[in-house]
């Protein structure tokens, strides 16, 4: 076990209990460097390194999996840490054999593989949260963020298992890698404690969350929480913040989160990047989910949650898109009455398979289709917003100046959707959530008065 005893200065004593991590590092120099990186990160966050098992709040065992003898040594080291301390996180090369580790030591808190620094550190956070001292620490407890204080993006996975023909994200970022559910929840809780009122759940394919982990459970608040879309939404819904879902594909299991929206646990909002509606174009795009059943699915969702707002993005001028495909898209758009839409003119991305489709749509046709698409979207939005006038809604405030407050409804995500103007209401502050009655609407925005 590393025998680095960190100085316990009087400042630290004054700050109360200092979270302390024990570290066992096995294997080759590469594993040692991994250990050093993990320790550096933890030390920078205020953790102390314990000289023995007894003084540690949690023990990290960095394993080696090169030879059978090394694996046995790793299993023995995990066993010793379990016996001496009982709270053990396993990482390193042998971590790829999670099944074998858990078979021998079912009580380990988390298992991560080689080079997964972020996951190890998150597992330590989940086991022993860092103690933040605003006078001593340069980085705020919730991390450094580029968003305003009252909303934050919460990334639940990286990469994507789909292979859409216009996209090179899987080439750049690889297949889906989900974060364990308790890592996501630890971050979400920390954000809410730091004053975040709205969590914007993001990934490349949010509804596929946990597939790569085989929906593995991890401990959260004394109960096992599966890495599964529905259960994660339920847990997020308990934090008392607005929870907004982005990049959701209409897979059948999305049906299960609609009741949470109807009950007010998460926002009645789904950002579904449909990209097109014509079956021929969707096939050429190689889009996930059974799009031909989408209309039926949306109808059912609206029956369950009449307030549901679906926002989406589309691409016009995809290679091979005919006039008929485009008319089909416009008709579909009118029928589904999407709350918000964005539209891109197709652009070839270097390395994307769609570039091999010969039937390129000329630029002037793309342009004309884009304008017609946006005009139809505007019509749909105007009609929908007119129906909201007179209703009492919740508004989250984004900005306040001398003329009043600017906010958003539960149907509007920051940056991409519409606004709610609370003219003359200067007593509010960013992050307030207030009740207001809608007095007026135009194509994309609402005007309201606080009630
Ligand atoms: S467009 Fe989205 S779903 Fe399709 S491959 Fe790219 S990241 Fe995955």
Return the best residue to mutate from 161, 176, 205, 313 for the ligand 1 pocket (most ligand atoms within 8 A of CB).
Answer: 205
Domain range for 261 is 139-387
Task: Examine residue 11 and state whether it is found in any structural domain, yes or no.
Answer: no
Please list the pLDDT of the chain residue by residue as tens digits (451 residues).
433 323 333 344 344 678 999 999 887 766 777 788 788 888 888 888 888 898 899 999 999 877 778 889 999 999 999 999 999 999 988 888 899 999 999 999 999 887 777 889 989 988 888 876 656 565 566 666 677 889 999 989 988 998 999 888 888 778 999 999 999 999 999 999 999 999 999 998 999 999 999 999 998 988 999 999 999 999 999 999 999 999 999 888 999 999 999 999 999 999 999 999 999 999 999 987 656 678 889 999 999 999 999 999 999 999 999 999 999 999 999 988 888 899 999 988 778 888 888 788 999 999 999 999 999 999 999 999 999 999 999 999 999 999 999 999 999 999 889 999 999 999 999 999 999 999 999 999 999 999 9
What domain count does the chain have?
A: 3
The answer on 165 and 112 residing in a single domain is no
Last residue of one domain, picked from the residues 351, 366, 387: 387
Q: Are residues 383 and 395 in the same domain?
A: no
CATH number at residue 410: 2.40.50.140
Residue 1 maps to a domain = no
Ligand 1 atom at shortest distance from the alpha carbon of 247: 2
User: Which has the closest alpha carbon to 420: 405, 400, 435, 432?
Assistant: 405
Which residue among 161, 169, 211, 354 has the greatest number of ligand 1 atoms within 8 angstroms of its CB, and so is best to mutate?
A: 169
- Pocket residues for ligand 1 (CB within 6 Å)? 160, 162-164, 167, 169-170, 204-205, 288
Question: What local confidence, expressed as pLDDT, does residue 49 receive?
Answer: 87
pTM (predicted TM-score): 0.73
Q: What angle do CA 219, 264, 126 make, to 5 degrees?
A: 20
Confidence (pLDDT) at 51: 84
Choose the final residue of a domain: 134, 150, 183: 134
């Amino acid at each position: 076990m590393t025998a680095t005893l960190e100085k316990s200065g009087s400042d630290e004593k004054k700050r109360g209990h200092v979270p302390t991590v024990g570290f066992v590092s096995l294997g080759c120099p590469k594993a040692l460097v991994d250990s050093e990186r993990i320790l550096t990160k933890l030390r920078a966050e205020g953790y102390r390194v314990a000289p023995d098992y007894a003084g540690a709040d949690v023990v990290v065992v960095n394993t080696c999996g090169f030879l059978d003898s090394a694996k046995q040594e790793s299993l023995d080291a995990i066993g010793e840490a379990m016996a001496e301390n009982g709270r053990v996180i396993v990482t390193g090369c042998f971590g790829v054999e999670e099944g074998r580790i858990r078979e021998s030591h079912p009580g380990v808190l988390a298992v991560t593989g080689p080079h997964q620094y972020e996951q190890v550190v998150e597992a330590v956070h989940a086991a022993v949260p860092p103690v933040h001292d605003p006078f001593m620490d340069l980085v705020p407890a919730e991390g450094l963020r580029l968003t305003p204080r009252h909303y934050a993006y919460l990334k639940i996975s990286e990469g994507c298992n789909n292979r859409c023909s216009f996209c090179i994200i899987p080439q750049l970022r690889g297949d889906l890698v989900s974060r364990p559910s308790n890592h996501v929840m630890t971050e979400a809780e920390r954000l809410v404690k730091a004053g975040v009122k709205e969590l914007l759940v993001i990934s490349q394919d949010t509804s596929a969350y946990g597939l790569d982990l085989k929906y593995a459970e991890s401990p959260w608040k004394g109960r096992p929480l599966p890495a599964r879309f529905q259960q994660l939404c339920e847990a997020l819904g308990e934090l008392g913040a607005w929870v907004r879902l982005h990049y959701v594909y209409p897979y059948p299991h999305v049906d299960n989160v609609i009741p949470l929206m109807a009950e007010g646990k998460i926002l009645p909002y789904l950002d579904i990047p449909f990209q097109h509606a014509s079956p021929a174009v969707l096939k050429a795009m190689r889009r996930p989910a059974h799009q031909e059943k989408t209309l039926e699915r949306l109808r059912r969702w609206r029956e369950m949650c009449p307030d549901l707002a679906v926002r989406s993005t589309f691409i016009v001028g995809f290679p091979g898109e005919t006039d008929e495909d485009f008319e089909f898209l416009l008709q579909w758009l009118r029928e589904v009455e999407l709350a918000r839409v964005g539209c891109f003119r197709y652009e070839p991305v270097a390395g994307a398979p769609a570039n091999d489709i010969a039937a390129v749509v000329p630029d002037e046709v793309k342009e004309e289709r884009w304008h017609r698409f946006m005009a139809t979207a505007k019509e749909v939005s105007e009609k929908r917003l007119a129906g909201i006038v007179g209703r009492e809604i919740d508004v989250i405030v984004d900005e306040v100046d001398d003329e009043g407050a600017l906010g958003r409804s539960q149907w509007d995500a920051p940056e991409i959707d519409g606004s709610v103007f609370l003219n003359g209401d200067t007593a509010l502050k960013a992050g307030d959530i207030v009740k207001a009655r809608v007095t007026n609407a135009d194509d994309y925005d609402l005007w309201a008065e606080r009630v």
